Structure 1
Amino acid sequence: MLCFFAASSAPTPLYHLYQQTWGFSPVQLTVIFAVYALSLLATLLIFGSLSDFLGRRPVIFVSLLLEILSMLIFIGASDVTWLVAARMLQGIATAIATSALGAAMLDTDQNQGPLINSIAPMFGMALGALGTSALVEYAPMPLTLAYLLLLAAFVLQALYLLRVGETVTPQPGVLKTLRPTLYVPPQARGTLLLVLPADIAAWALGGFFLSLAPSLLTAATGATSVLNGGLAVAALTISGAISIMNLRLRAPRRALLVGCSFLAAGVSVILTAVNLGWLWLFFAGAVVAGIGFGASFLGALRLLLPLAHAHQRAGLMSAFLALSYLAFCVPALVAGMSIKHLGLVSTTNVYGTVVVVLALLALGGLLLQRREGARAV
């Protein structure tokens, strides 16, 4: 899980180099990003429950093979078309992997499974973005070395998977699951509606950081170091992972309350930094928003996933991830298309304001539900 998400963020610090080398626009940049997320979303809709029927191991193995192929395409890429192809294949691989791996970890441990499902993506995105930035700054082969290291990791994991035991019994009926659908068990639907605004706010912010943060830092502050883009992603995701660790034993609703509050506060600080051109304040806001990102994701997962039965887990996980990645890619794609007319800073102001409003709406809903629950008692 860590490596799949590291691979997903590895191209982020390289986008500016790709633009300089191949001369493509910000719109094309967000298209490259969105292709990954949209292919991930489509795959989740069709194949999200596959491991519930075929077993976890074969599905994870196929995802590793697809990810290996995407790394090879990245290494050999010579223009935007190759990047789009690699990101599309990577999205398919990540979708298949995350639903199967997430369900397998729940099969193994229903207490620690949600924690690992929450924390691994955060550390993975930080590792991919910051690690790639450091390699670009200090190592040779800036456009290929990160992919070579990830390629080696995925090959080793594919071999190691042969030693891992299966965690679910295969069952018939797999063809019926291949219709595009969002399957949410009836007992989990009310909870999903409760957590959705916070989840949308968190993942919309994550999508913006992974697609446009490096360009925004240059436009708003004049800073040109490649490390800044990786540091921005790492500030968001590592603080998110730390908040998950600190809140993992707290009640899920408490985590959501913390998440919504810190999301609204952190994005407000980021918008202030962008308009003042203060790089240090941007990173401070990213840390605060990251706490909200991690807390929201953990709270939502801990409320939702235990509500599913064993052979519903991958389906619910894929539905939740599909909605998350829809929020991850569509707003960022709209932002990329808006830059031409509004400019990057003005687009950021609108985008950030929407994220703050969503977080506050979710916070209000949680507080209202808690008040109604107290009255009922």
Structure 2
Amino acid sequence: MTVTTDCPEVSVVAAPVERVRPRHARRSGALALPLSMVVSFLAASAAPVPLWAHYGAVWHGGALVTTAAFATYAGAVLVGLLVLGEVSNHLGRVPVLLAALALQTTALLLFAGADGYPPIFVGRVLQGLAAGAALGTLGALMIEAHRERGTLASAAAPGVGTGTGSLLAALLVAYLPWPTHLVYLVLVGVFTVQAVALLRIGESSPRRPGLRRSLRPTVAVPGRVRPAFVAVAPVLFAVWALPGFFSSLGPVLIRRLAHSPSVLLGGLGLFLLATVATVATVVLRDLTAARTMLVGVLTLLVGLVGLVGGLLLGLPVVYLVATVPAGAGFGSALQGAMRSVVSLAAPDERPGLLSAAYLVSYAGLGLPAVLAGVLVSLGLPVDDVATGYLAAVAGLVLLGYVSLRRATR
């Protein structure tokens, strides 16, 4: 989930027939392409999730390899956000988005032809860099196309893409031929269509000098914001650890609980988490940051208790049902945490503050998953590791919420 600031205006070059269309229709058309690209980018990142168990069985990879592959993607997204996030302001949006589509396509072709883990790791790096470079630009395009609808779409699209990508991949793998190829080739076709649409629109954003300077990431927390940021950092770390859990250990756990090899089960957890998080973000968008944070913490704790209960009792239904409040808590606690600190900074201070928030968030997305993979590879039962993982998330969320309440008072 990204936040964009200080983005130049962009206009869509329309054919003569478009000039007679109502203004809201032109805006809706301009909104459709970036919205579809955000969804497809996040869907591509989630597409390998249902296949981790298959790759592990065929290539003899354990939990450490799976979690490392996921953390590689998270690290690459962070690099893309911090280093390449402002490049489109200087080179133009269409060239940057076309390059991101090319990287995504290359990654998917690597996945489709992979005969071992090295192409998977290379592809995950390419996917992460592409997403980091493109998502901020796409968010800005959506907001400029229609401020109200675009803002709503930029908040909802990442979760929709992640959830649908995981579920679509699971369905294609489970019920159609070419299980390790078809989902990637379908996405290649989608990206090809989007590239053609971008070329038809053309570049209309003015280029600005300062490309080299934009490649140096600015990570800075203003002094008056620092107490609140330090307080909220455990919440950011913990809530992002949750999708990391469902993207790495989650598919293995649900299949063990259900005593089923179904690939569809492997993608269901991430689908529920991401989809419900999106709904919560949209429904609670008008609440204050403090109330959003409170709702998020409470629902997240309910979900975490249910997830642990499902694991301890060996009940897959309880585990899946608990994913719903966990997803609602993830979406709302994240929004409440971000709004609590961003609102304290001046506009020119927000890019550096957001970069600091990205560092904490993507560390939470990747590092706990890798640590869990190490523990499982050392022989600890995966259920015990998962229980400890979820308990640590609950503890960090509570610590951060209490600290933030004290800091903001």
After TM superposition, the score normalised by the length of structure 1 is: 0.89
Q: What corresponds to 1:244 in structure 2?
A: 281
For the pair shown, the structure with the greater C-alpha radius of gyration is 2
| Mapped partners of 1:170, 1:45: distance in 2 | 20
Question: CA 1:185–1:66 in structure 2 vs 1: closer, same or farther (change >3 Å)?
Answer: farther
Structural mapping, 1:1-377, within 5 Å: 1-108=38-145, 111-164=148-201, 169-182=206-219, 192-193=229-230, 195-302=232-339, 309=347, 319-341=356-378, 342-368=380-406, 372=409
Cα shift at 1:87: 1.1
Equivalent residues of 1:100, 1:314 under 8 A apart:
no
Range with greater deviation from structure 2 (180-189 or 323-332): 180-189
Question: CA 1:194–1:97 in structure 2 vs 1: closer, same or farther (change >3 Å)?
Answer: farther
Range with greater deviation from structure 2 (187-196 or 169-178): 187-196
Cα shift at 1:130: 0.7
| Mapped partners of 2:317, 2:53: distance in 1 | 21
| Mapped partners of 1:73, 1:290: distance in 2 | 31
Equivalent residues of 1:103, 1:313 under 8 A apart:
no
Deviations 1:290-322 (A, max 9, x none): 00111123334555667664x877766555444
Deviations 1:141-187 (A, max 9, x none): 11011111111111111121234476864322221232354356778
Cα shift at 1:276: 0.9
Percent of pairs identical after alignment?
A: 36
Higher helix fraction (1 or 2): 1
Q: What corresponds to 1:375 in structure 2?
A: none
Deviations 1:10-30 (A, max 9, x none): 100011111122221211111
Cα shift at 1:88: 1.3
| Mapped partners of 1:184, 1:4: distance in 2 | 30
Deviations 1:98-143 (A, max 9, x none): 2322343345555555533332111111111111111111111110
| Mapped partners of 1:296, 1:75: distance in 2 | 36
Cα shift at 1:208: 0.9
Question: CA 1:159–1:71 in structure 2 vs 1: closer, same or farther (change >3 Å)?
Answer: same
Unpaired stretches in structure 1, ≥5 consecutive residues: 373-377
Deviations 1:53-109 (A, max 9, x none): 334333222111111111111111111111111111111111111232234334555
Equivalent residues of 1:99, 1:317 under 8 A apart:
no
| Mapped partners of 1:242, 1:99: distance in 2 | 21
Equivalent residues of 2:236, 2:357 under 8 A apart:
no
| Mapped partners of 2:336, 2:200: distance in 1 | 33
Question: CA 1:237–1:312 in structure 2 vs 1: closer, same or farther (change >3 Å)?
Answer: same
| Mapped partners of 1:107, 1:194: distance in 2 | 33
Deviations 1:222-268 (A, max 9, x none): 23211111111111111111111211222233222211221122112
Q: SS of 1:66's equivalent?
A: helix
| Mapped partners of 1:111, 1:322: distance in 2 | 28
Equivalent residues of 1:30, 1:333 under 8 A apart:
yes
| Mapped partners of 1:338, 1:263: distance in 2 | 25
| Mapped partners of 1:305, 1:108: distance in 2 | 24
After TM superposition, the score normalised by the length of structure 2 is: 0.82
Q: Partner amino acid for 1:355?
A: V
| Mapped partners of 2:238, 2:204: distance in 1 | 33
Deviations 1:302-356 (A, max 9, x none): 55667664x8777665554443222111110111111123221111121111100
Q: Partner amino acid for 2:285?
A: R
| Mapped partners of 1:55, 1:308: distance in 2 | 27
Unpaired stretches in structure 2, ≥5 consecutive residues: 1-37
Question: CA 1:367–1:113 in structure 2 vs 1: closer, same or farther (change >3 Å)?
Answer: farther
